[in-house]
Amino acid sequence: MVAVKLKKIGYTVQQICRCLTLAASSFYYRLKPKAINAEMVRLKAAMQQIHNDMDATYGKRRMLSELQDMGFTVGLEKVRRWMKNLNLVAKRPKQHRYPSGGVASVIAPNKLNRQFNPEQLNTYWSGDITYIRTQQGWLYLAIIMDLCSRRVISWAFSDKPNIELTTRALRLAVQKRRAYRNVVFHSDQGCQYTSVAYQSSLKEFGVESSMSRAGNCLDNAVTERFFRSLKSERVNYRRYETRNQAIADIINYIEPFYNQKRKHHKLGNISPVRYEMNLLKSA
């Protein structure tokens, strides 16, 4: 305290240190805590805000990336430590064991062959169906994703997991992606995809069909992973009274959150929409 008062009066650091037989480093150390504390307050507030804005879906790595984008100079270990201190726990999916092997489809070969990271948009699309419980009964969701950007480009809902559901998702994808010719669409061997009607729709739009081996979820792992994220980050924390309530919440997860905001590790910690914008700029 004496050293600080002398500094305010006008004494130089060298004069103060000689008078008090104090090392210069010790003097500066005494002046730092307020600045350090102010920066720490900013950091903790930012981490809490990110945690809330991203609906508690960010672990330490995506939290670190977000903080660095905001201008903070911080390391992974510090982020981990402060997330623990602030009790910022990310939602985590349950671990699943997936079967391997399986019989190839007679309808279409596995053209994707786990090439999950194409360099160009509209090279490979993938699709699947999942179900969501509501108090009105089951709700079924079909999506189509562009594997290059991991963007969910179309979705459709129904109270029945039928061919009409998957066909609506396909038509929406075609409408949204104008430059889609020669794209390969990959799915499992569910009857909604192997049906004559659906295969005819693919041919009508000039889309090639590719199918996973029977019972092998890993052949369509990226789409499976999206559904896992949807449920572990959103659906499992909700109780939907009606199907319409579930539809509104899931669309809110897909479009403003997953596609536009949520950082994706495989994309270099940017969102699918940002990744597509970067691709188009560099084209």
Q: What CATH number is given to the structural domain containing 184? A: 3.30.420.10
Q: Domain boundary residue among 33, 63, 85? A: 85
Count of beta carbons in the 10 Å neighbourhood of residue 158: 18
Of 34, 69, 85, the residue at which a domain comes to its end is: 85
Per the structure, how many domains does the chain have?
2
Mean pLDDT computed over every residue of the chain: 85
Instruction: Mean pLDDT check: name the lowest of 4-8, 9-13, 141-145.
Output: 4-8
Residue showing tokens 């079924």: 140
Whether residues 148 and 234 share a domain: the answer is yes
Same structural domain, 143 and 266: yes
**Closest listed residue to residue 102, CA positions, set 114, 92, 94:** 114
How far is Cα 34 from Cα 4, in angstroms, rounded to an integer? Answer: 13
Single pTM value for the model: 0.73
Q: Do residues 43 and 152 share a domain?
A: no
Q: What percent of the chain has pLDDT over 70?
A: 81
Identify the burial level of 188 via C-beta atoms within 10 angstroms of its C-beta, where 0-12 means exposed, 13-18 middle and 19 or more buried.
buried
Residue 232 lies in a domain: yes
Give buried/exposed letters for 165-187 (b at 16+ CB in 10 A, else e).
Answer: bbbbbbebbbeebeebeebbbbb
> Is 202 domain-assigned?
yes
Return the pLDDT at 102: 47
Decide which of 85, 111, 144 is a domain's last residue: 85
Contact at 8 Å (CB) between 278 and 148?
no
Asked if residue 41 and residue 133 are part of one domain, the reply reads no
Query: pLDDT tens for residues 16-61?
Result: 556 656 665 555 555 555 555 787 788 888 888 888 888 888 888 8
Over residues 214-234, the pLDDT tens digits come to: 877 888 999 999 999 999 999
Domain identity same for 214 and 141: yes
Q: Is 184 within a domain? A: yes
Range of the domain at 73: 2-85
Assess whether 267 and 137 both reside in one domain.
Answer: yes
Please check whether residue 76 lies inside any domain of the structure: yes
